[in-house]
Chain A
Amino acid sequence: MVKGTDRHTELGLKEEDLLEMYRFMLLARFCDERQWGLNRQGKAPFVVPVSGHEAAQVGSAWAFERGKDVFCPYYRDLALALVAGFTPREVFLGLFGKADDPSSGGRQMPAHWGAKDRNIITGSSPIATQCLHAAGIALSKKLKRSDAVVGTWFGEGGTSEGDWHGAMNFAGIHKLPLVLVCENNQYAISVHVSKQVAGSVHGRAKGYGMPGVVGDGNDVLEAYKLTKEAVDRARAGEGPSLIELLTYRHYSHTSDDDDRTYRPKEEVDEWKAKDPIPRFEEYLKTVDVIDEGKIEEMRDQAKTEVTEQATDAEAADFPDPSTALDHVYAERVEVK
């Protein structure tokens, strides 16, 4: 095998980092395969697929400091949630709507990530609302003279929402420690980016007085590099950045969607050929971090982990309806 150029050392990534990043990408992919399977078996009513986005999510999330920085993700961010501290079991507790689902205890649809102890801020379904929360949290960090950085993730469709523009504007005005990451997979459900975005996503940064960059979202090292530069800037008090990561989702928008009505098969195949996981494996092989045997071993391990934890989550308890009135307010308010 031809020895490849080492791209990770200058980014400050060690071999352990690469292996962990690779492992998270595998876990996300196998979680996705498992959740699709469960959906087809009628055991999981609703699935938001992540496949195709693993590099964009793991690479960008890796640039943040866990335990200090804050994550405001959107629904497709399964791989990001894993990096930020979710276990596969917890992903499946959410998928099934079980009582111990960390995000919501089975109250929200799957993929509405949130866990205070992991600094993952609860999200909703209307698009891009989390971007304003991220801006508010970033302002709070700045006022507290904390050096924590806030990240928020969204699709290119999200950049049409007023909430997103408000967050960009406010972050730019106050030079907030905020990194905005767009996972541009070119379709907001069925609407192509050409009907969604005038100009470009990253180009919008200029109007808000912050740097905007675009990169290959299927290259985990590039996603990391661009995000790390933005996180470093934010931590140094130099303000927000917008990062656009070009990628593609392998499946439909959700399990309730059928992408065959709006995406040509050739296009899907073309992008599947650019799958971020084999691509990272190729890199890892050329820099001698892993070989075929190790790949096989890590894939088996991740798959087993996911399968076991999914089964375990399936057996967990559903929430008791007697708890459904809890947490409307801090203290129960009776309505006659």
Chain B
Amino acid sequence: MVDAKKRSEAMPVAGAPAESREAIARARAGESEAWGELYREYAPAVFRLCRRVLPTREDAEDATMEILLKVRDKFAQYDPGRPFHAWLFKVAANHCWDLLRRRRVRQDLELPESQMPPLEHPSADLVERLAAERTSQEVRAALAKLPARARMALVLRYYSELSYDEIAQVLGIRRPFVGVVLLRARHQLRELLEQSAAAGRREPRAGGAT
């Protein structure tokens, strides 16, 4: 329990390679070669993040390039005292969230908080059972079905390891609300996993009947 806390503080942003300070400094000074180095180093990690939050692979590819180009243009805003990857991933997360948000300006399906049904306290058994039985593949399939904000919050938290404060900034919500968003996201995820479990149980039975 204690080491869970320690891990989330100590672990760097997921997938980010070791920093090369010198290349960052040069890229910051506007050297395009250094930027190329940084690109090579960070593009895969940025892509992986984008791939997890955006709906299609093409979206993620485009977004990766756009993010790194954005970084090149915005290098002046980077404070060299802070870790580069943290800044980069914040830019990336903001960019992705922006994309998602812009696409659903009107078809926003998420209900306002006041209209959401109250969450039931989960039984430890159910959570335990789902965690034990579901494969990571099934979890990913369920994640893909989540609403954009829920998925984004989960990815930022459990993939990019952002703090609640950082998530609040990216999603443009108040800090206390982050916990609620994550909680709801997990409930929705559990629901989807249960459904897939039910569907999975039905299928072989139907196959056996014939």
A and B are interacting partners: no
Q: Which A residues form the contact surface with B (CB < 8 A)?
A: none
